[in-house]
Amino acid sequence: MPAHPLPRAADAAAVQASRSRAAQPEDLLQIPWLAAVDDADRARVQADLRVVQVEPGELICRIGRPVTYWFGLVDGLLKMSNDSGSADGRSAPITFTGVSPGGWFGEGTVLKNEVYRYNIQALRRSVVAGISSETFHWLLGRSIGFNRFVMNQLNERLGQFIAAREIDRLTHPDERVARNLAALFHPVLYPGVGEVLRITQQELGYLVGLSRQRVNEALAALQAASVIRVEYGGVRVLDLETLRRYRSG
């Protein structure tokens, strides 16, 4: 299994630090739920939105830290994991899922005002946006459109984690790569991906728990089955439904 990038000291507080900036018009276009918010409410949201560039290995959310923001990925690639496993060594580190462009995450933690039970880490240089937990709850209290978005998000997230448990039971590497790729192309959770995901074999290996060489073999098999096409700097999905149900041999 490949080594994960080493975490850096930065975490969610980076959004509040001096290196964060106000959202620009091009950032706003990459935030899918803004369209569900009325014009009168959007002004407060846009004033509250902060955007920060994070480096590979940097943590956006850290286990045990209190929630302060609801985050979304404008550009780049993230992973959600527990990284350390259990303190007594009885369980190994687990990668729960990747996060593709357009994906917003951690709404359950913000709703319950809990500490984080997972790490969110950048696999490459990424652009992350966030609104404060206060604005998140303010929107819940007044925006029907925002409530619908969050409810749909939670429903899709539940399905995602049920699928992740099924992936954990798969023993064939090609099938694990196929299901993980399909999850990164989820049209509701990650609407910014489109048909091509910018990802390297090493990054996919971090998410799946396989070596780069074995990921390369799996991608070759999936391409031979005409469900994906490997392109320069990324992967194009040709048949998403078949990719979700892919079985080797």
pLDDT tens digits for 70-84?
Answer: 999 999 999 998 865
Residues 64/109, Cβ–Cβ less than 8 Å = no
Q: Is the pLDDT of residue 7 over 50?
A: no
Average pLDDT for 196-221: 93
**Pair (29, 115) in one structural domain:** yes
Residue 154, domain CATH: 2.60.120.10
Average pLDDT for 225-245: 93
**Pair (108, 187) in one structural domain:** no
Local structure of residue 6 (DSSP, 8 states): P
**Pair (99, 210) in one structural domain:** no
**Pair (145, 25) in one structural domain:** yes
| Residue 156 counted as domain residue | yes
Q: Is the pLDDT of residue 126 over 70?
A: yes
**Pair (127, 209) in one structural domain:** no
Structure confidence at residue 70 (pLDDT)? 96
Number of domains in the chain: 2
Q: Which residues contact residue 241 at a Cβ distance below 8 angstroms, ignoring those fewer than 6 apart?
A: none
Q: What is the pLDDT of residues 163-180, one digit of tens each?
A: 766 666 667 899 999 999
Residues 159/188, Cβ–Cβ less than 8 Å = no
pLDDT, the chain, mean: 86
CA distance 33 to 153: 10
Print the domain residue range for 87: 12-161
CA distance 179 to 167: 7
CA distance 221 to 133: 44
For residue 195, give Cα distances in angstroms to 79, 146, 227. 20, 26, 12
**Pair (235, 136) in one structural domain:** no
| Residue 87 counted as domain residue | yes
| Residue 69 counted as domain residue | yes
